[in-house]
Chains A and B, each alone.
Chain A
Amino acid sequence: MIHTLEPILREHPFFQGMEDRHIELIAGCSMNVRFEAGQVIFHEGDPADHFYLIREGLVSVQFAIPHRGLTTVQTVGGGEVLGWSWLFPPYRWHFDARAQQPTHALAFDGKCLRAKCDEDHDLGYEIYKRFMQIVTERLESTRLQLLDMYGNHP
């Protein structure tokens, strides 16, 4: 059965090099979603049962900090992936995500995909490989933020 989202997935750089049967499996767990500007996508502590591929728009990764208000540490834009907590227990979000602009995304059902990865380890390997890449990139750019490159350092 060809899911209408398959062509979109096939085109996307994140799924480059994946076999058709795997794309089919993933497409079976995906759907189109939209968020209004300012809309909360998920809260810190919520069950992490999805991940998102942003097609268009801008999402803030935020923390609600007492006396500091909502602090954005990072934004995720068109073409980027949001969320990997669905991969690891306790499957809970570690931050708030809020759309800064009207945002279109593909949402992937994490529970559904986790089950499919358990059944098909080849699929699991392909998914984890790709998420590992994302996590590494985020870690590297977070380290650069930590370095406070533009600060005046004695």
Chain B
Amino acid sequence: MATILEQPEVVSAGLADPMLPMPYRIQRVKQETDDTFTLEILPEDSGKGFSFAPGQFNMLYVFGVGEVPISISSDPDDAPFLKHTTRMVGTVTKAMRQLKRGDTMGIRGPFGSHWPVQEATGRDVVIVAGGIGLAPLRPALYRLMAEREKYRKIVLLYGTRAPEDMLYRQELEQWRGKFDLEIQVTVDRAASSWRGNVGVVTTMIPRAPFDPTNTVAMVCGPEVMMRFTVMELLKRGVAPERTYLSAERNMKCGIGFCGHCQYGPMFVCKDGPVFAYSRIAPVLGRSEV
């Protein structure tokens, strides 16, 4: 079954030369957890025509420091207003954290393949997020809720290391109340004040309320978490070509020229980052590929 995702019909602002960043202004910098923060940005020019599909990423440039690929985690309907949630893991992201409202940064994008929201029409949708993996999935959740009637059951399973590492907690609570959406969360380790589930997110899959014969699954998180999540989903009978994950690799260009993001025969920047499991299975989990 062909599952190679077409690039969506999105327009990137002024990409006559896709290596030129467009200036964006910081509206807000929000600390999410002790090592994760969200940038909220708007383009300097009107940015009309910029749109993105859930799962795509931008290349974010901090003046004079460097550029990194980060998934877009805002509502596609709010574009060109963008949000990017990221961990502070290196020079560029640490410098990014020091930016203030009113500062400018460079954006190139959107790049990459997207979550199969269209394909999920008429089906159950299972979203399994681990840690910061919820950030690239959030735009898909927005799209699903914007047209809730198109989908059958929607289940979100979210696991983090500890309760304090959960992202978007208030938003999750609101969604739980407002929409017909099943949300289950768990943590790997908890202090005694936590009264919820403890255990890895994969343990919630066997009993989650969805029909595996008619489900699209979207999985994002650390690679180990995705591998075991997929194993549980397949065990329950979800089709490998309807199970999607988001991969991650070093990127220097985002447009298939620098060669850094190669993963077996695939370029994560243009064949991914969202892949159907059936396509990525031959390389997933192979050491040093």
> Which residue numbers of A lie inside 8 Å of B, CB to CB?
58, 60-61, 69-75, 77-80, 100-101, 137, 140-141, 144-145, 147-152
Given contacts A75-B197, A75-B199, contact A145 B192 (CB under 8 A): no
Query: Interface residues of B toward A: which range?
Result: 20 to 34
Query: Are B130 and A145 in contact, CB atoms less than 8 angstroms apart?
Result: no
Cα-based distance from A77 to B39 in the complex (angstroms): 37
A130 to chain B, nearest CB (A): 14
Say whether B200 contacts A150, CB under 8 Å: no
When distances are taken between beta carbons in the complex, the residues of chain B under 8 Å from A80 are 207
Task: Determine if B189 and A73 form an interchain contact, defined as CB atoms under 8 angstroms apart.
Answer: yes
A149 contacts B202, C-beta separation under 8 Å: no
Q: List 15 A-B contacts (CB under 8 A).
A: A58-B195, A58-B196, A71-B190, A72-B194, A72-B198, A74-B198, A75-B186, A77-B197, A140-B228, A145-B199, A149-B130, A149-B161, A150-B132, A151-B161, A152-B89
Given contacts A74-B199, A141-B203, contact A150 B192 (CB under 8 A): no
Known: A71-B192, A79-B207, A149-B224. A144 touches B197 (CB 8 A): no
Cβ-based interface call for B165 (8 A): yes
- Other A-B contacts than A69-B191, A150-B165, A152-B89, 8 sampled, CB-CB below 8 A, are A72-B190, A73-B189, A75-B186, A77-B207, A144-B202, A149-B188, A149-B222, A150-B130
* A75–B198 CB distance below 8 A: yes
- How many Å lie between the Cα of A148 and that of B199 in the bound state? 11
Residues of A within 8 A of B196 (CB): 58, 75, 100
Shortest CB distance A79–B (Å):
5
Determine the chain A residues whose CB is within 8 A of the CB of B89 once the complex forms. 152
**A144 pairs with B224, CB closer than 8 A:** yes
Q: Is the CB of B160 within 8 A of A60?
A: no
Closest chain B residue, CB of each to CB of A61: B198
Minimal Cβ-Cβ distance residue in A for B186: A75
Instruction: Report chain A residues within 8 Å CB of B203.
Output: 137, 141
A12 CA to B139 CA in the complex, in Å?
38
- The answer on a CB contact under 8 Å between B130 and A72 is no
Closest chain B CB from A13 CB (angstroms):
9
> How close is A54's CB to chain B, nearest CB, in angstroms?
11
Which residue of chain A has the shortest Cβ distance to B199 in the bound complex? A74
In the A-B complex, the 7 residue pairs with the closest CB atoms: A150-B131, A150-B161, A144-B200, A70-B192, A149-B222, A75-B198, A72-B198
Chain A hits for B161, CB < 8 A? 148-151
- Contact string against A for B residues 174-214, beta-carbon threshold 8 Å, 1 for contact and 0 otherwise: 00000000000010111110111111101100010000000
B110 to chain A, nearest CB (A): 26
A150→B199 contact, CB < 8 A: no
Q: Quick one: CB contact mask for B215-233 with A, threshold 8 Å, 1 for yes?
A: 0000001101100100000
Residue in chain B with minimal CB distance to A38: B195
Judge whether A147 and B224 touch: CB under 8 Å. Answer: yes
Contacts of B195 on A, CB cut-off 8 Å? Answer: 58, 100-101
Given the complex of chains A and B, what is the CA–CA distance between A137 and B203 in angstroms?
Answer: 9
Inter-chain CA distance A151–B87, complex, in Å, is 11
A89 to B130, CA, bound (A): 38
Q: Within the complex, what minimum Cβ distance (angstroms) separates A154 from chain B?
A: 10
